[in-house]
Every structure is written in structure tokens, then in C-alpha cells.
């Protein structure tokens, strides 16, 4: 399949209207269009067309047991295919459109190809103007996983999409770099009125609790299953996700401890470093990839997947990175990084 590449500027959608009309038509006719969102690029198909979902799984090389998120423009557009609840509407009021996904009971009419056989459906209203325009123009809800090949980091730039999806989709809409850089926060309303946090993102546990006044439980899989006193977990490949080809190891220690540790490393080594560490580490024979200032977790989240793709191109023996804490957006970073590292943490003290 020949993939068509189109640049669209979020500031001038009027000018690009005819392109979006064509993209909308591709979606309505059962084709696949990659589009930018505020989190990561999405690989979109008509959520009301069971065969479009099959095409999405095939293009990603994704096992068909991993359900898709349905993207809509306004929270009430979930009504035809999902059971909305008062808590859903409160979440929507506070955070939609924006980087949050809510799990709801699916209605009968929604294809179980989209939900991977589950009776629940993931619903999201993205805030990116290009995503919003595309959904509106397509006139149907858009099922879209992240537009990467299964297992590799989510694409935050159209160039990443090209690396993974060239020849696999009908159109790629280039809308520039994604502002969040990590996928949406996923929450599941529970029967007791609390929320289960299934995937952390830019909408943090703290924000959900403060704004909604509900208690939020973090699903155990989010932070891994490190047991008390356990040093390094090395589970099988099934835990590797977003993973670069070289092993990634997370360093748990102070900046000084990381510096001493890195000074002892042999071979071709890369380190994802904080801006503040750059000067002290420059004399070492370690390739440095800055992910942002230590306190600026939003910036680190925005850089992470891009940097993982960059280091991957260079063929290092080992990649190291500081282990983030789990406060605020730190939880999203921690969650993605322990997966990229297959839970490999080196304790330095
Ligand atoms: O930011 C995002 O959410 C991006 C952009 C494109 O919107 N999309 C995205 O999709 O990250 P994907 O398919 O890469 O991740 C969707 C996640 C998967 O972990 C999937 O298991 C989960 O959502 N999910 C989908 N439906 C679910 C459901 N009914 N119950 C529980 N988890 C669900
Ligand atoms: Mg994904």
C-alpha cells in the first residue's frame, strides 16, 4: 500500500480543510489514517466498522486481545455505544477534551473487535485540534491505538510514525510534535464510586483526587511488582514494552552515585540524563541524551519516547537512565520506564 503523507498546521485548519475531508472519507470507507493527538500519534479507523479494527491490529502487528480506545469529539458522543454514568460526566466536565481515557460498559452494538471481546470500552476526547477536526469531519467515532508497531515506543512525531507505519496505512497526517509525549491516563470507574488508575499520564492521580473528590486506587501493574527487599527483577520478554534494542537499566541513587557508577562502565554506553547532570558527566565516555531538567517531569515525559527511539538508532551496548519518583507526572514516567527497562533497576546505595 502506498502511504500518503500530509502536513497539517493546527493553527490554520481552514486552509487544510480539503485534506481533512479526504482523510475523513478514508476513515468512513474503512481505511486507516494516522493522526496527531496531544498525547501520541494515533492509528485511526472507523470504530463502527468491525473490519477496520482488524486492519488496525494487522498494521500494528498487535495481538487481537488488546482493546482499542474509541476517540470522540464531545463526551456525550459516547452515548450510542457506551453506558455513560454520572461519574463519567464529572470526569468529562473536569478533564475533557484532554489526555484522559475512561473505561465504560460497552453497548451491544459496538463491535467486540474494537473491545477485544470485552464488555467494556475505552472512551477518549482528545484536545488536539487536528484530531478533533478529523473526528468531526469523519462523522464517526475513531478507534485508535498508538501508531507504533506493537512493542516499540509510541510515536510522538510524524517521523517516528513513518519509521513504523510506512506502507501499512493509507495516510499519515503530520501535525508536528505531540505536547504530552506519553499516552493518556486511563481510569476505570468502580462499583463503589472510586476510580481504578490503569495507566498514569498527564492527568495525575493527585489531580483526579483533588478535582473529583474521589479516591483513586493505582492498579498493581502500574508500578510493577517489586517486592520488599528485592534488588533486580528480570522477568520474561512479555514485560518488555517501549523497549530499545539494547538493555535499559534504571539507576536508583543520588546524582553523585549515578556519576560514580557511570564512570566505571565499559563499552558503548548511553545515559538519559537530567539537564543539571550534563556538565559533571561530560568528561566520561558515555553518550548523554538530555531528557529535561530534574524537576520538570512534563518535559521529561514529552522527551522520553523520542529519546528512546534516538538511542536505539546508535547501537549501544547498554543504556542507563535515572529511576524517576512516582509523584505527579512522575508516575507516568516511572510506569513507561520500568517497562522499557523490563523492570531492571540497579540500586546504587
Ligand atoms: O493517548 C492515548 O491514549 C493514545 C492516543 C492515540 O489516543 N492511544 C493509545 O492507545 O495509547 P493504545 O491502544 O496504544 O493503548 C490503549 C490502552 C491499552 O493498554 C489497552 O489495553 C487499554 O488502553 N484498554 C483499551 N480498552 C480497554 C478496556 N475496555 N478495558 C481496559 N483497558 C482497555
Ligand atoms: Mg500503545
Task: Classify residue 107 by its DSSP letter.
Answer: P
Is a pLDDT exceeding 80 seen at residue 329?
A: yes
- Same-domain check for residues 217 and 319: no
Ligand 1 pocket residue status of 340, Cβ below 6 Å: no
> 169-205 pLDDT, tens per residue?
999 999 999 999 999 999 999 999 999 999 999 999 9
Q: Check residue 64 and give its pLDDT.
A: 79
- Identify the pLDDT of residue 225: 58
Q: Identify the nearest ligand to the CA of 148 by its number.
A: 2
Q: Check whether residue 150 and residue 261 sit in a common domain.
A: no
Residue 237 in domain = no
Q: How far apart are CA 168 and CA 40, in angstroms?
A: 18
Lowest mean pLDDT across 12-16, 19-23, 67-71: 12-16
Which protein residue's CA is at the shortest distance from atom 25 of ligand 1? Answer: 67
- Would you say the CB of residue 198 lies under 6 angstroms from ligand 1? yes
- Kindly give the pairing relationship between strand 100-106 and strand 120-124: antiparallel
Whether 82 lines ligand 1, by a CB cut-off of 6 Å, is no
Mean pLDDT of the chain: 93
The verdict on the CB of residue 118 being under 6 Å from ligand 1 is: yes
Residue 241 placed within a domain: no
Task: Say how many C-beta atoms besides its own lie within 10 A of residue 126's C-beta.
Answer: 29
Question: Do 201 and 287 belong to one domain?
Answer: no
The per-residue DSSP string of 189-253 comes to E-TTS-EEEEE--SS-HHHHHHHH---EEEPGGGG--PPTT-------GGG--S--SS-EEEEES
Say if residue 348's pLDDT is above 80: yes
**Could you tell me if the CB of 23 is within 6 A of ligand 1?**
no
What does the H/E/C string look like for 252-302? Answer: ECCHHHHHHHHHCCCCCEEEEEEHHHHHHHCCCCEEEEEEECCCCHHHHHH
Total tally of structural domains belonging to the chain: 2
> What is d(CA 348, CA 135) in angstroms, rounded to the nearest whole number?
48
Tell me whether residue 70 is in a domain.
yes
Determine the atom of ligand 1 nearest the C-alpha atom of 121.
Answer: 29
Any atom of ligand 1 within 6 Å of the Cβ of 60 = no
Specify the residue with its C-alpha closest to ligand 1, atom 22. Answer: 67
Give the pLDDT of residue 240: 61
pLDDT at 195: 98
Band (pLDDT 50/70/90 cuts) for residue 238 is very low
Q: Within this chain, do residues 145 and 185 fall inside the same structural domain, yes or no?
A: yes
**Domain span including residue 291:** 248-347
Instruction: Kindly report the pTM of this predicted structure.
Output: 0.95
CB 255 within 8 A of CB 348: no
Per-residue pLDDT, 190: 96
Could you tell me if the CB of 301 is within 6 A of ligand 1? no
Q: How far is the CA of 69 from the centre of ligand 1 (A)?
A: 5
| 46-95 pLDDT, tens digit each | 999 999 999 999 999 988 788 999 999 999 999 999 999 999 999 999 99
Give yes or no: residues 169 and 286 share one domain.
no
**Which residue among 63, 101, 190 has the greatest number of ligand 1 atoms within 8 angstroms of its CB, and so is best to mutate?**
101
- How far apart are the C-alpha atoms of 164 and 253, rounded to whole Å? 35
Amino acid at each position: 500500500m502506498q502511504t500518503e503523507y500530509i502536513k497539517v498546521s493546527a493553527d490554520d485548519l481552514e486552509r487544510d480543510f480539503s485534506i481533512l475531508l479526504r482523510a475523513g472519507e478514508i476513515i468512513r470507507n474503512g481505511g486507516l489514517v494516522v493522526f496527531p493527538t496531544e498525547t501520541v500519534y494515533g492509528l485511526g479507523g472507523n470504530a463502527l466498522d468491525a473490519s477496520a479494527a482488524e486492519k488496525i491490529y494487522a498494521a500494528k502487528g498487535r495481538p487481537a486481545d488488546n482493546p482499542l480506545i474509541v476517540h470522540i469529539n464531545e463526551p456525550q458522543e459516547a452515548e450510542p455505544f457506551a453506558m455513560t454514568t454520572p461519574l463519567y460526566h464529572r470526569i468529562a466536565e473536569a478533564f475533557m477534551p484532554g489526555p484522559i481515557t475512561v473505561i465504560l460498559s460497552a453497548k451491544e452494538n459496538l463491535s467486540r473487535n474494537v473491545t477485544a471481546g470485552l464488555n467494556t470500552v475505552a472512551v477518549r476526547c482528545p484536545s488536539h485540534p487536528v484530531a478533533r477536526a478529523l473526528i468531526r469531519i469523519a462523522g464517526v467515532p475513531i478507534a485508535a491505538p498508538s501508531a507504533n508497531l506493537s512493542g516499540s515506543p509510541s510515536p510522538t512525531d510524524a517521523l517516528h510514525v513513518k519509521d513504523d507505519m510506512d506502507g501499512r496505512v493509507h495516510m499519515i497526517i503530520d501535525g508536528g510534535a505531540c505536547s504530552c509525549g506519553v499516552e493518556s491516563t486511563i481510569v476505570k470507574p468502580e462499583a463503589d464510586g472510586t476510580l481504578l488508575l490503569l495507566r498514569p499520564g498527564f492527568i495525575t492521580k493527585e489531580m483526579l483526587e483533588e478535582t473529583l473528590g474521589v479516591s483513586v486506587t493505582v492498579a498493581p501493574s502500574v508500578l510493577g511488582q517489586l517486592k520488599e527487599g528485592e534488588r533486580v527483577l528480570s522477568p520474561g520478554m512479555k514485560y518488555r514494552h517501549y523497549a530499545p534494542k539494547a538493555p535499559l537499566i534504571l539507576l536508583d541513587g543520588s546524582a553523585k552515585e549515578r556519576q560514580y557508577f557511570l564512570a566505571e562502565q565499559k563499552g558503548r554506553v548511553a545515559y538519559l540524563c537530567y539537564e543539571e547532570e550534563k556538565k559533571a558527566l561530560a568528561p566520561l565516555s558515555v553518550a548523554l541524551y538530555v531528557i529535561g531538567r530534574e524537576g520538570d517531569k512534563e518535559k521529561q515525559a514529552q522527551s522520553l519516547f523520542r529519546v528512546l527511539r534516538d538511542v536505539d538508532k546508535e547501537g549501544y551496548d547498554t543504556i542507563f537512565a535515572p529511576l524517576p519518583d512516582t509523584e505527579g507526572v512522575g508516575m507516568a514516567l516511572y510506569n513507561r520506564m520500568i517497562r522499557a527497562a523490563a523492570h531492571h533497576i540497579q540500586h546504587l546505595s
